[in-house]
Chain A
């Protein structure tokens, strides 16, 4: 099994593992952020360039460094490979540039967007971007489109990660949407606003890293940080039925699939669970969902309150790998 050193941490991974996945096995700050790569979707990745890393040593047989920064989600590890992510100023600088490019056409409408508070691009820009834009030209704009009666497409916010296209390709028997045009004119489209009405089409809301695809049944009802995420399940014939309910009081405002630490869906859920079952009585509640203490969603303290009710004040960070502080690595 090849051994790879990432930011000074050595790990042995099966052959064929990408640098990104090897870094995720180490965990902590050295994991490159990813906007387009999605471990559940085959062939995803390589589009957004946020996961760029520097390979300082190719392998034991060929120790030359790679000439350019490489996308870690697409580069497979080799034995003896040495990778620099946050220890390389070049990588951090490149990432800042990538964030700036991603934000060129992305509108600053976080106050309006339903994704705000759980948006990958928001987190990425906060951590790696610059506070001001240098872009002076007109941003490309589109009118929001309804694809079906349950999903809203805001093409303005799309960053062309292709996740929803891969999802439609791999999860559903027939693909109803894709990318039209090319380059700067590229856009997600259903071809003459055809409705996407597959049983699993709602999952494209969950895989979308930004607010381009949002739930119309949840549209503008509440900001995510005013809702309480609750783990729940129900007997469902089409999917696993395991979900997170986003509740306000006894009202179920939104249903979404459960996600892993890296924001990837654990198991895809069907549209019946997602859009139709908005009664608390439809669900068997398991308890509060784990939200990172650093997330704005944790501001409503629902998790803490629930835990305190049970008498044991604790934060369950078991899913989260031990964080490595930047100074520790340097």
Chain B
């Protein structure tokens, strides 16, 4: 069975004198190298120049707050259900009287953990979320020294009240009504 038409039959026939000189081959090779001097560079000098991310880039997660600063997440578990890597776990708790400013719904996530080593950044949690609480941002999950540190809790995930993370560019995931 032949897999491609671009095959070549290899032979070990004796080289001619011109071929033995290697000079024409060297000239052809140099020609290819020199041509690349005049082509546009494909690399950039990274820390000084940064490439723009595509709007659909999926980096580390953020748990959004609503306009009053209350947490949107209600621990419904749909993100954990949708997660193909089973990276998300959560524990729900009931909101007490007087905590209305902290949590938007009657129920909230007391614990919310994402194992970033398991996460494959597919964005299905974002798509499943009925409360528009979880979004994938354009920041990266940074390197750590210990595996335990990759389990992000609410401390890392919930956006700070005074430093909101803009996810407006990401828009609504497709398929939502």
Contacts and interface: CB of A to CB of B under 8 A. Distances in A.
17 contacts: A109-B105, A110-B76, A110-B130, A111-B78, A112-B74, A112-B76, A112-B106, A112-B107, A131-B177, A132-B177, A144-B106, A220-B92, A223-B77, A223-B81, A225-B81, A226-B77, A296-B81
B81 A299 contact: yes
A111 B81 contact: no
Contacts of B177: 131-132
Contacts of B77: 223, 225-226
Contact of B130 (A111, A131, A299): A111
Interface of A is mostly: loop
A111 B78 CA distance: 8
A167 interface: no
Contacts, number: 37
B75 to A, nearest CB: 8
Contacts of B81: 223, 225, 296, 299
Given A111-B131, A132-B177, A220 B94 contact: yes
Interface residues of A, number: 17
A69 to B, nearest CB: 29
Contacts of A220: 75, 92-94, 107
Interface residues of B, number: 16
Interface of A: 109-112, 116, 131-132, 144, 219-223, 225-226, 296, 299
Given A112-B106, A132-B177, A226 B80 contact: yes
Given A112-B105, A132-B177, A221 B92 contact: yes
Interface in B68-89: 74-78, 80-81
B94 A223 contact: no
Nearest to A144: B106
Contacts of A110: 76, 130
A219 B94 contact: yes
Contacts of A116: 76
B87 to A, nearest CB: 14
Which of A110, A111, A116, A222 has the most C-beta atoms of chain B within 10 angstroms of its own C-beta? A111
A114 B71 CA distance: 20
Nearest to A300: B81
Nearest to B177: A131
A214 B174 CA distance: 34
Nearest to A220: B92
A205 B130 CA distance: 26
Contacts of B80: 226
